[in-house]
Structure 1
Amino acid sequence: MPGFPSALPVLRTPRLLLWPLSREMVAGQLKGQPFVLALPEVGPVHFDTQWPSGALGFFPGWAEHPELISGWVIVQASEAVGTIGPKGPLTGAVDIGYGLRPQSWNQGVASEAAQAVSVWLLSLPQVERVTADTAISNAASARVLEKAGFAEIGRSFSEEDGELRLWAKVKTSYADSD
């Protein structure tokens, strides 16, 4: 898909490692069984059946079209706890999505990952802002984005989720900080 880099970088935060998704990860998750992958410079990472991307409906299409795989698995203490990534080309306004296994909720993991990904995306010259949406009823996801530096910019509606809050984080210039 145009706009996706050929390889995403490994991103590190104080508690997390964001490792680019691979075909092996997608194939392993689609089997529906726990598995372990040895990641270079990291060692074994355990994937249980609770990491959420398969449930989000992303992986079946990725298995058939590995060139569309773009995003990161969120690794905490040698466990795959979720995924995060762009929903389209890395140009202009880039929309992101994320999901965590329930055991990792309410620990700041999603905010830390969203902060790292948005900073990296905004460092790309062709990306002007990073966007996301949350269901009005999902206050926890709204807090994730607020803590990661996003601001609410409006409302929308989707058949799947109902009323949505729209969020954005924009590239700042040195002139803006004067």
Structure 2
Amino acid sequence: MSIQSEKSTRTKQKLTHAAVKLFKEKGFESTNVRDIAATAGMTTGSFYHHFRGKIEVLNEIYDSRDVYFGKLLGDLAQHPPYNQAIYDFFVDHMVHRVADDGKDFTWHRMFGMKKHSTTAHELYKGMIGLIEKAQDAGELDGQYLAETINEHLFLVFRGVTYEWCLSGEDDGEDHLKDLMERHIAAALQAFVG
């Protein structure tokens, strides 16, 4: 990688980190490009050199988290019991990420982008791999396609997250975790082998 390319990557990362910070603090709608550039210690022109707007920053955040969670799922797939790893992924890792982002940022990232994980994304590939391991170990019923179980689990995850985002009060991670524990456990139970 050339020096210029490394510098460009670092600049883009600084802008992305500044955007995440501001989206959490001020909310997506209340954050503007000027705020992001200033927080990153850059000009608005620098921002527009790397991104077309806030939505493109959201896409960058989404893509980087997709890669991160895909790798995490690969690590979790190395340690049975796999059902427990699936449960822990949603109840611990995903809940923490969502709660840390806050309701406004989560709402825009998950529901305002019109972009969701598909089987082409690392997150889904990793979860499907983990589900297949659970099926091979007899922990989940093999009569269902791993893709079907995956789709069901993520529908539950998005539904719980949607419900949490709609609740008016700032009830933090505990309420979200309680909801996720109950509903992911029930979703997994439906596919137990």
Using the size of structure 1 for normalisation, the TM-score is 0.31
Using the size of structure 2 for normalisation, the TM-score is 0.29
Q: Which has the higher contact order (CA 8 A, sep 6+)?
A: 2
Higher strand fraction: Structure 1 or Structure 2?
1
